[in-house]
Amino acid sequence: MWKNSLDVLDVHCQGEIGKVIVGGAPAIPGRTLLEQMNHINTVDDSLRRFVTFEPRAHVAMSMNLLVPPKHPEADAGFIVLQADRAHPMSGSNCICVVTALLETGRVKMHEPETIVKIDTPAGLITARATCRDGRCVSVSLDNVPCFVEAQDQVIRTPQWGMVVADIAFGGVFYALVDSKQVGLDIVPENARALAEAGITLKALISKQVSVSHPDIPALNDVAYVMFRQQEANGVIRTCTTLKPGRVDRSPCGTGSSANLAVAHARGEIKVGDKRISRSIIGGEFTAEAIGETLVGNRRAVLPRITGQAWIYGREELRLDDHDPFPRGFALSDSWGSQVGELG
């Protein structure tokens, strides 16, 4: 046991790694989780870099920081740490966090169902965990209200001409793009090409599209590009792309929520309807419209995302003053051509 260390649970959700820091992290300044996230992004990113860069991490993972909740109804709070920045919400990571909280006893488990309320920078999330024999066999997330910012937004690109995207909020803002527009099917062998296309599109979108959440003005950028592809029986194949150049291994909860908002706005689904989101490696989430509301003057849907996570280990990360790489490093051989943008 070391004097300065982080206690980490190894968790994945449908193949997407979402480790959870359960002990040893420093206190993050801020009156709200949004202020704490912004502190990480604008003032001190040392913890984020330490846990998301090599040699302690690799590109295809997130690290979730447990923090004391600020919301009076919440059982716990968390902030998503990724290689590019801290993010306000992630469905797969939230499922990892709820599973970790319950299976380690940090929140008391009740069978057959435990309700856990999670504070995030994007708002309060209600999770319903189906529990059996001391394990979470599924977690359903009642996500924040999700809405469409712009339908059929035209993006000018030098590589693919005019690309049409739906811009929607699912906990963060997404650009939702049919994959055929970039000439790619959502299959494992296209993962690198999809990742690079998504990062290229994100850079172009950031220059051409402005977004701002009506109630949370600090949420004001398109965080991800999600490619989508219609399959049989209403299934949507999804592929969310993330900096510095990789794809989400899970079906992506917030992206599936954003996609549900688009379908709702187009009249393709109504309250009570469900859709299956299937990832590039075949994992599945169920996305259900459980209600309607307004966000500002925007018609919004209330999504419920259901999936499963697994704890596969635990680790202790040592904070050593003599470590030559306290801020970590990333190389383009594994992190992709966008590695230079990470700073």
Same-domain status, 102 and 65: yes
- Assess whether 183 and 124 both reside in one domain: no
Q: Are residues 24 and 156 in the same domain?
A: no
Residues 136 and 153 in one domain: no
* 157-201 tens-digit pLDDT: 999 999 999 999 999 999 999 999 999 999 999 999 999 999 999
pLDDT band at 94 (very low <50, low <70, confident <90, very high): very high
Rounded average pLDDT over 82-89: 93
Q: What is the mean pLDDT of residues 95-110?
A: 98
Question: Is a pLDDT exceeding 90 seen at residue 336?
Answer: no
75 — phi, psi (to 5°)? Answer: -90, -25
Which structural domain range is residue 107 located in?
Answer: 5-142+310-342
Q: pLDDT tens digit string along 223-260?
A: 999 999 999 888 999 999 998 889 999 999 999 999 99
Q: Are residues 322 and 260 in the same domain?
A: no
pLDDT at 343: 61
Same domain, 152 and 203: yes
CATH number at residue 63: 3.10.310.10
Whether residue 249 contacts residue 14, with contact meaning beta carbons closer than 8 Å, is answered with: yes
Q: Do 152 and 114 lie in a common domain? A: no
* Predicted pLDDT of residue 71: 97
Annotated catalytic residues are 90, 252
State whether 24 and 136 are in the same domain: yes
C-alpha 306/C-alpha 129 separation (Å) is 9
User: Could you tell me if 192 and 238 lie in one domain?
Assistant: yes
186 with 333, same domain?
no
Q: What is the pTM of this model?
A: 0.91
Number of domains in the chain: 2
How many whole angstroms separate alpha carbon 244 and alpha carbon 146?
Answer: 26
* Dist. CA 26–CA 15, nearest whole Å: 29
- What count of residues does the chain have? 343
Does residue 24 share a domain with residue 123?
A: yes
